[in-house]
Amino acid sequence: MRHLLSTKDLGRAEAIQILDIAEDMADVQNREVKKLPTLRGKTVVNLFFEDSTRTRISFEAAAKRLSADVINFSAKGSSVSKGESLKDTAQTLAAMGADGVVIRHSASGAPQVLAQSDWIDAGVVNAGDGTHEHPTQALLDAFTMRRRLFPGDSRGRGLDGVSVVIVGDILHSRVARSNLWLLGTLGATVTFVAPATLVPVGADTWPVDLSFDLDATLALMQPDVVMMLRIQSERMNAAYFPSAREYGRQWGLDDERLARLRPDSIVMHPGPMNRGLEISAGAADSAQSTVLEQVANGVSIRMAVLYLLLSGEREALS
């Protein structure tokens, strides 16, 4: 693998390979010494044009546990905020000898532009670009599902026949997009539930079932997985929905809806959560919730991705 830019262009074998390597990485996390020497001497730059402490420290932990040197480049307060272009930033990092660039950007496609350019030769990992994709989030979500649904028997398999309901602001969610493509590749079926204002135009042509009615969907699907997306309160001002109360009543996972789920179904959230809005405290803290597992699994997935991109075998594995 040369870069990881999206899940849309990940093949099934490639995706399962990443998940399986992440299993190995997770095993390492249970050892007393968590560190591997694999990327010793390599430099990974976390290039964050958008604030995201959670994703950045997850990548940082992943790179450090592989013994890479990590440079954190935050756009805030740097030359970028003074108008430096992506090109100049990239060329600067290239001159410093970055082997891998983990990029988070508010503009969709920025990681692809970086990867296609001749500004820098490093492997590029998309850590979330605009409303386009967040591939490592989808990979860690799939990893979490696989481990929960097939305990002790997760290696080597996809998610065939698994039903996943993703609820919330699909329109602005790169997590929803990356999950849709990856889960489909792995054999799962996906349903999006959202108010019509938050369903992307043209989503009816995507391999997904669309619903406006959470209760009906949960009753009909009895899904294996319910994934709640963060809702941003500023969407109210742009007339996507009238109020937080109305949103929570129609599309929130409250205690009552939680009680109607199958006892073995799991509740996911990419975080950070708005407790009481899209998810109740009861649902977030229930035994069915995987929220903290997702965080732990994120480090394993990102270790696997950095390993595939930056270890000596990266070309052979592509």
Residues lying near another protein in the complex (CB under 8 A): 8, 85-87, 105-110, 112-113, 116, 129-133, 171, 174, 177, 200-203, 205-206
CA atoms lying within 13 Å on the CB side of residue 175 = 19
Residue 82 annotated as binding site: yes
Residue closer to another protein, measured from CB, 206 or 212 = 206
**Residue 137 in marked binding region:** yes
Of the candidates 57, 176, 174, the one whose C-alpha atom is nearest the C-alpha of residue 111 is 174
The residue type found at 9 is D
Q: What is each CA distance from 225 to 33, 69, 191, in whole angstroms?
A: 33, 37, 10
Quote the least distance from Cβ 92 to another protein, whole Å: 15
Quick one: 148 or 177, whose CB is closer to another protein? Answer: 177
Q: How far is the CB of 189 from another protein (least distance, A)?
A: 19
> Per DSSP, what are the bridge partners of residue 116?
none
* 54 is known to lie in a ligand binding site: yes
Cβ nearer to another protein, comparing 27 with 88: 88
- Minimum distance, C-beta of residue 86 to another protein, in the bound complex (Å): 5
Determine if residue 257 is labeled as part of a ligand binding site. Answer: no
CB of 71 to another protein, least distance (A): 21
Strand order in the sheet with 123-129: 69-74, 43-48, 100-105, 123-129
Q: Is 37 among the annotated ligand-binding positions?
A: no
Instruction: Give me the phi and psi of 252, to 5 degrees please.
Output: -85, 150
CB of 108 to another protein, least distance (A): 3
For another protein, the closer of residues 84 and 256 by Cβ is 84
Question: Rounded to the nearest 5 degrees, what angle is found at the Cα of 215, between the Cα atoms of 209 and 217?
Answer: 20
302 labelled ligand-binding: no
Torsion angle, alpha carbons of 88, 91, 95, 101, to 10: 110
Q: Which is nearer to another protein, 51 or 204 (CB)?
A: 204
Of 304, 309, 117, 138, residue with least CA distance to 227: 138
Residues at the binding site are 54-55, 82, 104, 134, 137, 174, 230, 271-272
Residues at the binding site for carbamoyl phosphate are 54-55, 104, 134, 137, 271-272
Residues at the binding site for L-aspartate are 82, 174, 230
